[in-house]
Amino acid sequence: MTWTVAPEPYDSPDAAALWRAYYTEVSDRWHLLHEGRRTDPDELEREIAAQPGADLAPPRGELLVARYGGEPAGTAGVRLLDGTTAELKRVFVHPSMRGRGGAPLLVGAAEDTARALGAARLILDTRSDLVEARALYGRLGYTETGRHNDDPYAEHWFTKQLL
């Protein structure tokens, strides 16, 4: 089996299904850690609808979908914030596909996309409980920096120079 990564509309059926899986996982992890419960289904639907991903569409963004053996397996999004800085969003590999090298491949493709959009630097944020993500970014050369946004769930901010 091999991986492929290609741009895809943020609202395609495969991208939407991966967004739902991603958001369900990170939301459930947060609620279980902080409130001892899974995400309320109505809340989940509201949050997914409120963040469709239009900011990950050309010309200032791109959503990448990874496939493993032709099956949708993960995503990474890039959005240009200004003339030299892009933000990495929605890095996700479906749990059934983890451990097969998809995450570094997705992040590398997102870095290439950011460069193509004109970015010299890529930034991202994540949470403390997403230890796997923080470890991945460290392995891929991202350095932890100070806060660069006011996302109430963000606890760690990273950057990487692309040029």
CB 107 within 8 A of CB 140: yes
DSSP 11: T
H or E segment to which residue 135 belongs: helix 131-139
DSSP 39: P
Residues 6 or more apart from 81 whose CB is under 8 A from it?
Answer: 87, 123
Position 152 scores a pLDDT of 87
Position 80 scores a pLDDT of 97
Distance between CA 113 and CA 63 in Å, rounded? 9
Measured on CA atoms in the order 47, 14, 77, 118, is the torsion positive or negative? negative
Summarised one tens digit per residue, pLDDT across range 29-67 is: 999 989 999 999 999 899 899 989 999 999 999 999 999
Position 118 scores a pLDDT of 96
Position 1 scores a pLDDT of 81
Position 163 scores a pLDDT of 84
Position 31 scores a pLDDT of 92
Per-residue pLDDT of the chain (163 residues; tens, 9 = 90+): 899 999 999 999 999 999 999 999 999 999 998 999 999 999 989 989 998 999 999 999 999 999 999 999 999 999 999 999 999 999 999 999 999 999 999 999 999 999 999 999 999 999 999 999 999 999 999 999 999 998 888 999 999 999 8
Position 132 scores a pLDDT of 93
Longest dimension (CA), the chain: 43
Position 59 scores a pLDDT of 95
Position 4 scores a pLDDT of 97
